[in-house]
Amino acid sequence: MLYKPPINETPANQPVQFGFETVSHNQKSKKVDQVFNDVTPYYDWMNNLMSLGMHHQWKRQLIDSLAISPSDCVLDLATGTGDIAYNIHCITESNGYLVCLDINQNMLSSARDKLLNLGVSDKIHYLQADAQAIPVANESFDTVTMAFGLRNTTDIRLTLAECLRVLKPGGKLGVLEFSHPDNDRIKYLYHQYLLSVLPQLGHIAAGDRKSYQYLAESIIQHPTAIELKRQMITVGFNLVEIIPILSGTVAIHLGYKSYV
């Protein structure tokens, strides 16, 4: 099943955004990797604090919206500490197949440890790799998921194209990501929270203002729900649905690959 896909990678010197900072492709990859090395020890705890625990509900909503079958082969990109993977395994544990992929070794190890502690080990495979160059064959999976990881890639379009490539005909991509409210007042308050409160929480609760400053800026820099839908259609998804959450501060994007 494993192989090296032919990928037209973004040039290493092409400018990309790391939060509000403009850096090269290689610089962003290294900086993002360092961010997640730094936040791994308190990642789950900070997620609960920053979202008041609501991220668990959003993740379950993503899984529910995909209607995963017990026999599905599923790829969870940017698996983090394994929350999405655990929910998927509860569905596919008897007949399915689940691959947890993350580019960061610390996060992948945390996912493996968490799932083992939860008594989950059967039919789960772990793969350290870049979501922009997924080392699996074409049309390998029924479903691909990605929760709060897309904005950390250096090339969103390339990542979406890779998701389409590894999906079987009729397969589904589910992306859960922070987004942008349509209401101007809500957007203003949301951005104030991101830029003022979030880094301060990181400083007080985790002793790491810098990482959470980047995470806040990366949310603001992320495409709107409509723009992300447009990108998904551009790379070849046949149909894309948007499910807004919390007045659009979070959104689920469902992309469907045609049977033809």
pLDDT average, residue stretch 161-183: 97
* pLDDT at 183 > cutoff 60: yes
Give the span between the Cα atoms of 63 and 84, in whole angstroms. Answer: 8
Query: Which tokens go with 246?
Result: 């919390």
pLDDT, mean over the chain: 93
What are the tens digits of pLDDT across the range 203-213?
999 999 999 99
In a domain, 11, yes or no: no
The phi, psi pair for 49, rounded to 5°, reads -65, -50
Q: How many separate helices (H) and strands (E) can be counted in the chain?
A: 10, 9
What are the tens digits of pLDDT across the range 115-140?
999 988 778 999 999 999 999 999 99
In a domain, 199, yes or no: no
Question: Any residues with CB less than 8 A from the CB of 231 and at least 6 apart, and which?
Answer: 156, 157, 160, 223
This prediction's pTM: 0.93
CATH for 115: 3.40.50.150
% of the chain with per-residue pLDDT over 90: 88
What are the tens digits of pLDDT across the range 217-253?
999 999 999 999 999 999 999 999 999 999 999 999 9
In a domain, 211, yes or no: no
Give the span between the Cα atoms of 256 and 258, in whole angstroms. Answer: 6
Burial degree of 150 (CB within 10 A; 0-12, 13-18, 19+)? buried
In this predicted structure, what is the pLDDT of residue 260? 81
Write b or e for each residue in 167-192: b if 16 or more Cβ atoms lie within 10 A of its Cβ, otherwise e. bbeebbbbbbbbbbbeeeeebeebee
In this predicted structure, what is the pLDDT of residue 6? 44
CA atoms lying within 13 Å on the CB side of residue 31:
22
What are the tens digits of pLDDT across the range 247-259?
999 999 999 999 9
In a domain, 118, yes or no: yes
Q: Which domain holds residue 60?
A: 39-180+222-256
pLDDT average, residue stretch 166-180: 98
pLDDT average, residue stretch 179-207: 95
In this predicted structure, what is the pLDDT of residue 14? 77
- In order, the DSSP letters of 204-238 are HHHS-HHHHHHHHHHHHHSPPHHHHHHHHHHHT-S
Give the span between the Cα atoms of 136 and 164, in whole angstroms. Answer: 12
In a domain, 18, yes or no: no
Q: Residue 38's CB: how many other CB atoms inside 10 A?
A: 19
In a domain, 4, yes or no: no
The phi, psi pair for 226, rounded to 5°, reads -65, -40
What are the tens digits of pLDDT across the range 10-51?
556 679 998 999 999 889 999 999 999 999 999 999 999 999
> Across the chain, where does the E strand assignment appear?
15-18, 21-24, 73-77, 97-102, 124-128, 141-147, 167-178, 239-245, 250-256
In this predicted structure, what is the pLDDT of residue 10? 52
In a domain, 214, yes or no: no
Give the span between the Cα atoms of 193 and 175, in whole angstroms. Answer: 23
In a domain, 10, yes or no: no
Q: How many domains in the chain? A: 1
